[in-house]
Amino acid sequence: MNLRRTWAMARKEFLHIVRDVRSLAMALALPLFMLLLFGYALTLDIDRIPTMIYDADRTPESRELISRFTGSRYFGIRGMAGDYRAIEAAIDRNECLLGIVIFKDFAGKLLSGAGASVQLLLDGSDSNTASIALGYARALLQTYDLELRARTQNRRGAGTAAAPVLPQLRIWYNSDLKSKNYIVPGLIAIILMIIAALLTSLTIAREWEMGTMEQLLSTPLRAAEVVLGKMAAFFALGVIDMVVAILAGVIIFRVPLRGNLWFLAFTSGVFLIGALCWGILISAVVRSQLLAYQLGAVTSFLPAFLLSGFIFDIGNMPAAIQGITYIFPARYFVSILKGIFLRGVGAEILWYEAALLLAYAAIVFLIATRKLKQKVA
Asked whether residue 64 falls in the same domain as residue 32, the answer is no
In a domain, 169, yes or no: no
In a domain, 143, yes or no: yes
- For residue 165, name the pLDDT band (cuts at 50, 70, 90): low
Write down which residue in 102, 122, 155 finishes a domain. Answer: 155
- For residue 157, name the pLDDT band (cuts at 50, 70, 90): low
Asked whether residue 38 falls in the same domain as residue 56, the answer is no
Render pLDDT for 26-83 as a digit per residue (tens, 0 to 9). 777 777 787 887 777 777 677 788 999 999 888 888 888 889 899 888 898 888 988 8
Asked whether residue 187 falls in the same domain as residue 300, the answer is yes
Asked whether residue 223 falls in the same domain as residue 327, the answer is yes
Which CATH number fits the domain that encloses residue 84? 3.40.1710.10
Half-sphere exposure for 279 (CA within 13 Å, toward CB): 30
In a domain, 171, yes or no: no
In a domain, 219, yes or no: yes
Render pLDDT for 314-344 as a digit per residue (tens, 0 to 9). 888 888 888 888 888 989 998 999 889 888 8
- Domain containing residue 53: 49-155
Asked whether residue 34 falls in the same domain as residue 70, the answer is no
Number of domains in the chain: 2
Asked whether residue 149 falls in the same domain as residue 248, the answer is no
In a domain, 256, yes or no: yes
Angular region, 178: left φ>0, alpha ψ -120 to 50, beta rest: beta
- Greater model confidence, 1 or 260: 260
Asked whether residue 214 falls in the same domain as residue 238, the answer is yes
Write down which residue in 120, 155, 190 finishes a domain. Answer: 155
In a domain, 189, yes or no: yes
In a domain, 90, yes or no: yes
Neighbours of 218 (CB within 10 A): 9
Residue 311 has pLDDT above 90, yes or no: no
Asked whether residue 31 falls in the same domain as residue 59, the answer is no
> What is the separation of C-alpha 38 from the centre of its chain, rounded to a whole number of angstroms?
8
- The partner residues of 51 in beta bridges, in order of sequence, read 77, 98
